[in-house]
Amino acid sequence: MSALRILVPVKRVIDYAVKPRVNKAQTGVETAGVKHSMNPFDELSVEESVRIREKKRAPGGVEDICAVSAGPAKAADVLRTAMAMGADRAVHVELAEGEEMEPLAVAKLLRKLVEQQGSNLVLLGKQSIDDDAAQTGPMLAGLLGWPQATQACRIEFGDDDAVTVTKEVDGGVETVRARLPMVVTTDLRLNEPRYASLPNIMKAKKKKLERMSLHDLGLTNERRLKVLKVTEPPPRQGGGKVDDVDGLISRLKELGAL
């Protein structure tokens, strides 16, 4: 079995616990001064890569875990986090502050990096919690012509480069098998990501973080969608409380829900 060279794309997003606010100009959400962190699904990808190595789950071993992020200068922080969790090195594709990439452009970038880094397994989160698009993984697999398994809750490795993935689907789980090279996207139940320990955070500062631009890779940030506006969803008004079960039933009847 080939040794694994895992590419782990990570995205810096507004922290999941923060309630985002639409900006006054209605062009997006307010990001200045808002806490950001690694997209939660990407933490699962990093954790899984590290566990594959630690638990020696792949017969051919893990040769390399490379975290990659496209984003502004601060995206380096999430790459340091990934390295503190156990990634060997990182690649930062620098974008201007406020510049964003659409999933198709990210998939094209990742295709380039896969070729450059000689990766044979790409582990992505199933979606980012800002854009909620859930596209990059399958798009990358389509561009590379590689097999894909989305929403993984279990990944196993066998002989002959076989990868068996249990996926979360509507109503249950489904198991598929393919061969490396492969693209897998992670779902919540895959694992529980570790916290980076202080010594590991210190060590991560010494790990290699390579910087490049889209231009270096011969790419441009091509945009196909124009965001015309971003608005708050219509607010929902709470309807008040009732005193007892009878009150609940009669109110539900009034509202036509029973």
Partner 1 sequence: MLSTIHRTSKQLLSLSCRRSPALRAPTSSSFLSTLALLEQRDGQLNPGSLSALTAAKSLGGRVHGFVAGRSVSSAAEEASKVDGVEQVIVVEEEIYEKGLPECYARMLVDNIKTGNYTHVVASHTAFGKGILPRVAAMLDSQQISDVTSIQDEKTFLRPIYAGNAIATVESSDAIKIITVRGTSFPSATPNAGCAAITKGTTCAKADSMSKWMSEDLANSDRPDLAAASKVVSGGRGLKSKDEFNRLITPLADALGAAIGASRAAVDSGYADNSLQIGQTGKVVAPRLYLAVGISGAIQHLAGMKDSKVIASINKDAEAPIFQVADVGLVGDLFQKVPELTDKLNYR
User: Residue 220: CA atoms inside 13 Å, Cβ hemisphere, count?
Assistant: 3
Give per-residue burial for 99-116: e unless 16+ CB within 10 Å, then b.
ebbbbbbbbbbbbbbbee
CB of 89 to partner 1, least distance (A): 27
CB of 195 to partner 1, least distance (A): 17
Structure tokens that stand for 130 in this block: 């800002």
Q: Give the span between the Cα atoms of 135 and 65, in whole angstroms.
A: 22
Instruction: Answer left, alpha or beta for residue 172, where phi above 0 means left and psi between -120 and 50 means alpha.
Output: left
User: Toward partner 1, which CB reaches closer, 199 or 239?
Assistant: 239
User: Toward partner 1, which CB reaches closer, 88 or 168?
Assistant: 168
CA-wise closest residue to 214 among 96, 53, 62, 51: 96
CB of 191 to partner 1, least distance (A): 12
Q: Give the span between the Cα atoms of 202 and 134, in whole angstroms.
A: 33
DSSP 29: B
Q: With the C-alpha atoms ordered 55, 56, 58, 61, is the resulting torsion angle positive or negative?
A: positive
CB of 138 to partner 1, least distance (A): 4
Q: With the C-alpha atoms ordered 122, 127, 131, 133, is the resulting torsion angle positive or negative?
A: positive
User: Toward partner 1, which CB reaches closer, 198 or 257?
Assistant: 257
CB of 125 to partner 1, least distance (A): 10
User: Toward partner 1, which CB reaches closer, 33 or 171?
Assistant: 171
User: Toward partner 1, which CB reaches closer, 172 or 199?
Assistant: 172
CB of 20 to partner 1, least distance (A): 4
